[in-house]
Amino acid sequence: MKLYKFSQITTKITSQLLAIFVAFTLIFTCLPTLPVMAASKLFQGLSNPQLLALQGIPENINTINSNSFVTEAVNKVGSAVVRIDTERLITRPANPFFEDEFFERFFGSELPIQPPSKELLKGQGSGFIVDSKGIILTNAHVVDKADKVTVTLNDGRQFIGEVKGTDEVTDLAVVEVETKGENLPVATLGDSDSVQVGDWAIAVGNPLGFNNTVTLGIISTLKRPSSAVGIPDKRLDFIQTDAAINPGNSGGPLLNGIGEVIGINTAIRADAMGIGFAIPINKAKEIKDVLASGGQVPHPFVGIQMITLTPEIAKENNNDPNSVLILPEVNGVLVTKVLSGTAAEKAGIRRGDVILEIDNQSIVNAEQLQRKVEAGGVGQKLQFKILRNGREKELFVVSGQMIS
């Protein structure tokens, strides 16, 4: 009997030990999959571009090192990022209230003479050094009409800057400082044509007066036309990013994940959060030497204001009883205004014309027409096919230089 009870106890202990062993085996088997499960829940709310960016973390990052790839990228270019302070003295005319004849008759010589007042306007922005001899890239609006430009480096050194050239159409400017033979740190320029949606975007600058500020985001989209952004007086296809770009960031570099400059921070939408725009660095490469030499950047121009026309837009217009113009229901570009003294006026283009082709290439939107004219260069003879009063007509337009 005692032997039977001992056998029961032994069997029970063996079963419990076996159960514990199986449980530990299952736990250790599942451990490798836990991070994957956790990661899937962690990234569940992220959009495809964000996931692409996470997958695109540079391979050379040492995960054991506490420094992130952002730190490495910023350290690579940070010393070449500068703060730009500007001063401009303006003269405000005397108050016309005191110049009214009525007050002069009433008060006579007792009327105090109000001299013009002077006011000192100060501004601030960012820039980055592209040549060790003191050549700096920034935005044209940062240094626009400045009487004095002061450049401050990351290490606190200050230089008086000279604006060598500005281009309002692309909002780019070159500032030069006298280094007295000293070589300055230089930012590495990347290739904006190789940038893809979802790539990392690191904005560096001095927003709101806070020096050396870094923000992180991704590339949201590419080739966003300036007209779509609400800046019709520019000719740019922006890089759009959700990296925070605030006032004072203008002119600073937008970096990729390895610390190369892929854009120049330039604009934000006041009515939207998380939307910023940068000028592709390849555009700056094209014209920086022209600006540095004080030259004029060529911008071919025919002299029209225009909108994209589609059959749907034309039909909606034509169905409006108050419409002053019946539009052809075709794809093309509608001329809304011909500027006086321009190539378009000389060629005979008129308001209401619909441009269908240029040099036998179909034109379906305003952005395409603009790119076609720019590609031809200043002084290029272009063959326009237009639609006027239901009839097609060919005109030759010689492009001129756009005047800011």
Q: Rounded to whole angstroms, how far apart are CA atoms 251 and 74?
A: 16
Q: Is 141 a catalytic residue?
A: yes
Q: What is the dihedral of CA 370, 403, 262, 366, to 10 degrees?
A: -20
Determine which one of 79, 85, 126, 141 is catalytic: 141
Exposed e or buried b per residue across 243-280, where buried means at least 16 C-beta atoms within 10 angstroms of its C-beta: bbbbebbbbbbbbbbebbbbbbbbbbeeeeeebbbbbb
Residue 165, classed as helix, strand or coil, is strand
Q: Which two tokens stand for residue 115?
A: 């001299």
Q: Rounded to whole angstroms, how far apart are CA atoms 141 and 154?
A: 22
Determine which one of 192, 226, 250, 399 is catalytic: 250
Determine which one of 85, 167, 171, 242 is catalytic: 171
Q: Are 350 and 334 in contact (CB under 8 A)?
A: no
How does DSSP classify residue 189? B
* φ, ψ for residue 241, nearest 5 deg: -140, 155
Q: Rounded to whole angstroms, how far apart are CA atoms 354 and 336?
A: 9
Whether the CA torsion 173, 177, 181, 184 is positive or negative: it is negative
Pairs from 322-328 (Cβ < 8 Å, separation ≥ 24) = 325/352, 327/354, 328/354, 328/387, 328/390
End-to-end CA distance of the chain: 110
Q: Rounded to whole angstroms, how far apart are CA atoms 273 and 157?
A: 34
Q: Is 68 a catalytic residue?
A: no
Q: Smallest Cα–Cα separation from 261: which of 174, 348, 201, 311?
A: 201
Token pair 């097609």 in the structure block, residue: 392
Instruction: Look at strands 261-268 and 253-255 and give their pairing.
Output: antiparallel
Q: Is 79 a catalytic residue?
A: no
Q: Smallest Cα–Cα separation from 187: which of 234, 143, 127, 141?
A: 127
Q: Rounded to whole angstroms, how far apart are CA atoms 77 and 194?
A: 19
Catalytic positions: 141, 171, 250
